[in-house]
Chain A
Amino acid sequence: MSYDKFTTLTSPAVPLPIENIDTDQIIPARFLKAVERKGFGDNLFRDWRYDKNNQPIADFPLNKAKYSGKILVGGKNFGSGSSREHAAWAIYDYGFRVVVSSFFADIFQGNALNNGILPVVVSPEFLEKIFTAIEADNNSQFEVDLQNQKFTICATGESADFTINPYKKHCLTHGLDDIDYLVNMKEEIAAFEAK
Chain B
Amino acid sequence: MKAKTLFDKIWDAHVVKEVEGGPSVLYIDQHLIHEVTSPVAFLGLESRGLKVLRPEKTVATPDHNVPTINQHLSIKDELSRHQVEMLKRNCEKHGIVHHGLGSDGHGVVHIIGPEMGLTKPGMTIVCGDSHTSTHGAFGAIAFGIGTSEVEMVLASQCIMQPKPKKMLISVNGKLNKGVTAKDIALYVIAQISTSGGTGHFVEFAGSAIESLSMEGRMTLCNMSIECGARGGMIAPDQTTFDYVKGRQFAPKGEEWDNALAYWKTLKSDADAVFDTLYEFDAANIEPMITFGTNPGMGIGISQYVPNSDKLTGNDKLTYEKSLKYMGYDQGDKMVGKQIDYVFVGSCTNGRIEDFRAFAAFVNGKKKAANVTAWIVPGSRAVEKQIIAEGLVEILNEAGFELRQPGCSACLAMNDDKIPEGKYSVSTSNRNFEGRQGPGARTLLASPLTAAAAAVTGRITDPREFL
Contact = CB atoms under 8 A, between A and B. Distances in A.
A35 B155 contact: no
Interface residues of B, number: 69
Contacts of B160: 167, 178, 181-182
B318 A111 contact: no
B37 interface: yes
Contacts of B364: none
Contacts of B80: 33
B17 A33 contact: no
A17 B317 contact: yes
B432 A165 contact: no
Contact of A18 (B23, B314, B413): B314
Contacts of A114: 146, 148-149
Contacts of A185: 16-17, 25, 156, 158
Given A29-B412, A178-B148, A167 B195 contact: no
Contacts of B198: 77, 103-106
Nearest to B150: A85
A59 interface: no
A35 B145 contact: no
Nearest to A184: B156
Interface residues of A, number: 56
B162 A165 contact: yes
Contacts of A115: 148
B157 interface: yes
Contacts of B16: 185, 188-189, 192
A83 B128 contact: yes
Nearest to A34: B79
B97 interface: no
Contacts of A1: 44, 148
A80 B82 contact: no
A17 B318 CA distance: 9
B413 A30 contact: yes
B36 A24 contact: no
B318 A75 contact: yes
Given A84-B37, A189-B158, 7 more contacts: A19-B314, A34-B79, A37-B40, A77-B228, A80-B228, A85-B148, A182-B158
Interface of B: 16-17, 19-23, 25, 27, 36-37, 39-40, 43-44, 48, 50, 53, 64-65, 77, 79-80, 82-83, 86, 128-130, 144-149, 151-152, 155-160, 162, 164, 194-195, 198-199, 228, 230, 294, 313-315, 317-318, 321, 411-413, 420, 430, 432-435, 438-439
10 contacts: A20-B294, A25-B432, A28-B434, A29-B435, A33-B83, A77-B198, A84-B37, A84-B146, A167-B160, A192-B27
Top-9 shortest CB links A-B = A167-B22, A166-B21, A85-B146, A33-B79, A35-B39, A111-B146, A182-B156, A83-B144, A114-B148
